[in-house]
Amino acid sequence: MRLHNLPKSGGFRKRKRVGRGEGNGLGKTSGRGQKGQRARSGHSLRPGFESGHVPLYRKLPKRGFSNYRFTTRYAVVNVTDLARVEGDVADREAMVKAGLVRRSAELIKVLGDGDLDRALTVKADKFSASARAKIEQAGGKVELTSPEAAEQASDSDNAAE
């Protein structure tokens, strides 16, 4: 053995050898206690299982409520990213093709980070105010695709008049 092939100190722990006599403290039952499901091979119990007793998580009261299941989640696309879309129209299919959105079923929201260097007609479900301004400033158009979003936009336009 030479210096270049010495094992790392503390690099690995020696394997625990069980069932090899009473002398090492892990003989006879091999650290598994007496009989029962946990003493057998191949046992696996789900976390929180208490052998037929009512488990702790069922004794404690439920608390709170989460609206997560009911929230509307949007795939976010920034104005800078729209430059990667080929053609003059950046709709759902074009964004999927450019890799901006994973699948065509997602709702899309365009945010105003960055700048747009060409005129694009952008079709999405939602736009931030800054994104709308930057797209129109570059000579492009903004079109809402979801019917409820279009309704809200027309309601706000009517309210402004």
Predicted local confidence at residue 80, as pLDDT:
94
- Helix (H), strand (E) at residue 122: strand 121-124
> DSSP readout, 51-110?
TTSPPHHHHSPP-----GGG---EEEEETGGGGGS-SSEE-HHHHHHHTSSS-TTSEEEE
Least confident of 44-48, 112-116, 152-156: 152-156
What structural domains and CATH numbers belong to the chain? 72-160 (3.100.10.10)
Cα–Cα distances in Å, from 61 out to 47, 56, 85, 109? 19, 10, 51, 39
pLDDT tens digits, residue range 32-56?
999 988 889 988 888 998 888 999 9
Look at residue 28 and tell me whether its pLDDT is greater than 80: yes
Give the pLDDT of residue 113: 94
The widest CA-to-CA distance across the chain, in whole angstroms, is 92
The number of CA neighbours under 13 Å toward the Cβ of 6 is 6
Q: If residue 111 lies in a helix (H) or strand (E), which one and from where to where?
A: strand 107-111
Whole-prediction pTM = 0.57
